[in-house]
Copies of this chain bind each other. A is one copy, B any other.
Amino acid sequence: MSVTAAAGFRAAGAVAGLKPSGKPDVALVVNDGPRRDAAAVFTSNRCKANPVLWSERTTGDGKVDAVVLNSGGANCYNGPEGFQTTHASAELVAELIGGAAFDVAVCSTGLIGPLLDRPKLEAGIRAAAARLSSDGGNAAATAIMTTDTRSKEAVTHADGWTVGGMAKGAGMLAPGLATMLVVITTDAVADPATLDAALRTATRTTFDRVDTDGCMSTNDTVLLMSSGASGVTPDAADLASAVTAVCADLTKQLWTDAEGAHHDIEIAVAGAATEDDAVAVGRSIARSNLFKAAVFGKDPNWGRVLAAVGTTDAVFEPERIFVSMNGVQVCRAGGTQAGEPSENVDMSGRHLLVEVDLGAGDAAATVFTSDLTHDYVHENSAYST
């Protein structure tokens, strides 16, 4: 059900024909109220796509009536006409649902550069609007897929209120954020500031900790909309917790569907002086092509883990570092003590847990990545052709 699990929301998906495959490529999520509070976070990439430039402005006042999303094109780096397409989409949605364009958020995903076919997009938006329903969550989640192999949806029910969400994203998953579009809805009553705090709490430890290929997208958007239709005003901490649960669920779905991956690698860093140190170390390992290629080869190469740790500014001494892979302690005290045999590490499954203890404090963090495979190279060398 995803975005329509919470009361007060309708959604739909439709075929605009932006994707050569003819699969659904336009999604619409409408908040029927009674409230229309919202919060959003966007990519930190300084080269931003037109829909991000638009939505940053329109969500800034904490009010969003609807969001229209398309796959089949990023609408990015294509000049004034591209921005006008984004604007025209918002105007059309506003006209169809009765509202103002400035209260409509827009998201796009796909290839950077080309213009979107505006007549096709507008026809798709009209088709989606005609199909809006309170059980359209799955149709919307399906319409935003690109190289995703499955739709991503999550729901958490609380005491009289609900948080639901959908996401897309399979490549370019990196901090702040990934090529991900995420829409989260709730029927809880919450003002924009409370929603913003809940969303930032949630993304900091979920979407921001996925780093499948180190590449940061131009289009990332995570939008949280509240209808207030439940009439329940939860405690801010409970709301943050529920939003975090949905984001964590969607994060796991994104992580385990990364382009071309054969292993889902969970890098749990402990014993760090600070949480920032733990994240920096986890991210450095997650971005080591040599380590990621070794995992693809089922080689528990802890030397490449230490080499990646060594490139960070984190507090540590090499000879205090312990590394385990799937429970086998292959590196003890930075190699100064004999570790367990690497052959004991079972890497036949899809999940690999890499535990790194820096021996420098009590802070911890987990970063999620994927291995570097022939399929990754293939998918990303053939994408635009």
* A residues neighboring B (CB under 8 Å): 44-48, 74, 76-80, 82, 111-113, 171-172, 213-218, 287-290, 293-294, 296-297, 299, 301-304, 306-312, 316, 318, 331, 333-337, 372-374, 376-378, 380-385
- Could you show 20 A-B contacts with beta carbons less than 8 Å apart? A45-B307, A46-B309, A46-B316, A48-B318, A76-B303, A77-B318, A77-B334, A78-B335, A82-B335, A112-B304, A214-B287, A214-B288, A215-B307, A289-B289, A293-B376, A299-B385, A372-B380, A373-B377, A376-B377, A377-B377
The smallest C-beta distance from A370 to any residue of chain B, in angstroms, reads 11
The smallest C-beta distance from A80 to any residue of chain B, in angstroms, reads 7
Chain B residues, Cβ within 8 Å of A335: 76-79, 82, 113
Chain B residues, Cβ within 8 Å of A308: 215
Contact in complex: B301, A384 (CB < 8 Å): yes
The smallest C-beta distance from A323 to any residue of chain B, in angstroms, reads 10
Contact in complex: B374, A47 (CB < 8 Å): no
CA distance A9 to B106 in the complex (A): 68
Q: Name which residue of chain B comes closest to A378, CB basis.
A: B374
Q: Name which residue of chain B comes closest to A44, CB basis.
A: B311
CA distance A74 to B304 in the complex (A): 12
Contact in complex: B309, A47 (CB < 8 Å): yes
> Copies of this chain, how many?
2
Q: Name which residue of chain B comes closest to A290, CB basis.
A: B215
CA distance A135 to B159 in the complex (A): 83
Q: Which of B303, B311, B337 contacts A216 (CB 8 A)?
A: B311
Q: Which 9 A-B pairs have the closest CB atoms?
A: A112-B303, A297-B381, A47-B310, A77-B335, A293-B380, A79-B336, A45-B310, A46-B310, A293-B381
CA distance A377 to B172 in the complex (A): 18
The smallest C-beta distance from A189 to any residue of chain B, in angstroms, reads 37
Chain B residues, Cβ within 8 Å of A383: 294, 297, 299, 301
The smallest C-beta distance from A384 to any residue of chain B, in angstroms, reads 5
Q: Name which residue of chain B comes closest to A302, CB basis.
A: B113
CA distance A82 to B299 in the complex (A): 23
Q: With A297-B385, A331-B77, A374-B374 known to touch, is A215 a contact of B303 (CB < 8 Å)?
A: no
Chain B residues, Cβ within 8 Å of A316: 46
Q: Which of B46, B293, B303 contacts A318 (CB 8 A)?
A: B46
Q: Name which residue of chain B comes closest to A316, CB basis.
A: B46
Chain B residues, Cβ within 8 Å of A74: 303
Q: With A377-B372, A377-B374, A380-B294 known to touch, is A214 a contact of B289 (CB < 8 Å)?
A: yes
Q: Name which residue of chain B comes closest to A385, CB basis.
A: B299
Chain B residues, Cβ within 8 Å of A213: 289-290
CA distance A215 to B308 in the complex (A): 7
Chain B residues, Cβ within 8 Å of A214: 214, 287-289
The smallest C-beta distance from A359 to any residue of chain B, in angstroms, reads 14
CA distance A90 to B299 in the complex (A): 33
CA distance A88 to B77 in the complex (A): 60
CA distance A205 to B80 in the complex (A): 39
Contact in complex: B79, A337 (CB < 8 Å): yes
The smallest C-beta distance from A151 to any residue of chain B, in angstroms, reads 23
Contact in complex: A377, B296 (CB < 8 Å): yes
14 more A-B contacts (CB under 8 A) besides A214-B214, A372-B381? A47-B307, A77-B331, A77-B334, A113-B302, A113-B303, A217-B307, A218-B306, A289-B376, A294-B383, A296-B381, A299-B382, A301-B384, A372-B380, A374-B374
